Amino acid sequence: MFKAVLVMVGTPFAAKSIGLDNPRSAMIFGGFMGTVSGVTGGLAATDPKLVPYGALTATFHTGLGCLVAPSILYFIVRALVG
């Protein structure tokens, strides 16, 4: 929650200095930040046309973590416990 609000509020202020003005940079930004609501809100305040691009990669980032992290944890615990 804190990360989402921080990204949402900070994105419009940092957008110009980090070059957040095209779909490619929006996709990279969404992947790095990884919070769908924060990226979506921040990009909507910056440029509404960039929202789908940032939200796409932020969703992928979140989904990948939710799907892969438990599997990796399972194998780590299996290796430690036996």
Interatomic CA distance for residues 25 and 46, integer angstroms: 13
Residues 29, 44, 40, 53, CA torsion sign: negative
Q: What tens digit of pLDDT does each residue of 11-45 get?
A: 999 999 999 999 999 999 998 888 889 999 999 99
**What pLDDT band is residue 7 in, cutting at 50, 70 and 90?**
very high
Q: What tens digit of pLDDT does each residue of 45-69 get?
A: 999 999 999 998 888 888 888 888 8
